[in-house]
Structure formats: C-alpha cells, structure tokens
C-alpha cells in the first residue's frame, strides 16, 4: 500500500468515524470520559477513593507568595464540582451560586497545591 492509498483510506475512515476534534476542543466529550475508578488497579487510587463531588479541599494559592512574610501560605477553599479521569473541576467556596461557573477551574488530582481540609 503506497502513501496515496493510505491517505485515501484515512479520509474514508474519518468520514465513517466523524471528526471528534470539534467535540474535544469545546469540552462536549467530557460527559463520555470513563471514570478512573472503573479500572481495578489505577494510579492515585488512595486519592480517588476519598474524593467525591461536593467535597471541599484546600487550594494553595501561590499568587500571593510575594506578599506573605515568615513563610506564611495562603490557602483557599474550593468544592469539587466534577471528577473526570485524573482531573478535578473546582469552584471556589463562596462563589458557588447556582449556575455561576465563571471561576471554575480544572486541576490535576495529583497536584501538590491540593490538600484535605485541616
């Protein structure tokens, strides 16, 4: 099979499969992500077993490190809105009015800036 045949086959396949790039770019595929705990042995299992939607976590805010003295750390509270794979969608506590998702943000589940409250 030469390059021309491969290219023709790829075009035919993409017509059958559809272009999913547009769904990935705007986030419409997120509802179809398989949860990590669907796999028997998965990385970060000790974290994913404790993290559920609605749980509040501490978020280490590094934006204010220059303003803090004596090694003081600025911690903010955020609520888990959604879990998708190894990513957490967080919303600041206090900015959680119904339908207000302007300040929601994604964080990796293994990030060092996340801590349990307390």
Question: Strand, helix or coil at 70?
Answer: coil
Q: What is the mean pLDDT of residues 5-24?
A: 54
Q: Indicate if 42 and 21 belong to the same structural domain.
A: no
Q: Is the pLDDT of residue 7 over 60?
A: no
Classify 43 in phi/psi space as left (phi over 0), alpha (psi -120 to 50) or beta.
beta
Full-prediction pTM beyond 0.75?
no
- Name the residue range of residue 7's domain: 1-32
Q: Indicate if 13 and 41 belong to the same structural domain.
A: no
Cα–chain-centroid distance for residue 67?
29
Q: Indicate if 14 and 49 belong to the same structural domain.
A: no
Q: Indicate if 60 and 80 belong to the same structural domain.
A: yes
When pLDDT is cut at 50, 70 and 90, the band that residue 21 belongs to is: low
DSSP state of 41: S
Q: What is the mean pLDDT of residues 105-113?
A: 85
Question: Strand, helix or coil at 19?
Answer: coil
Q: Indicate if 11 and 67 belong to the same structural domain.
A: no
pLDDT in tens, 50-91: 788 888 998 887 766 666 677 667 778 899 988 887 888 999
């Amino acid at each position: 099979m030469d390059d021309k045949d491969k290219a023709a086959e790829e075009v035919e396949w993409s017509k059958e499969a559809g272009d999913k790039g547009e769904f990935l770019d705007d986030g419409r595929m997120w509802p179809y992500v398989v949860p990590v705990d669907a796999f028997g042995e998965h990385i970060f299992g000790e974290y994913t077993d404790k993290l559920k939607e609605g749980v509040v976590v501490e978020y280490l805010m590094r934006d204010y490190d220059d303003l803090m003295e004596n090694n003081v750390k600025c911690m903010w509270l955020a609520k888990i809105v959604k879990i998708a794979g190894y990513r957490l969608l967080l919303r600041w506590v206090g900015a959680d009015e119904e339908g207000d998702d302007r300040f929601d943000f994604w964080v990796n589940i293994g990030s060092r800036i996340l801590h349990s409250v307390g």
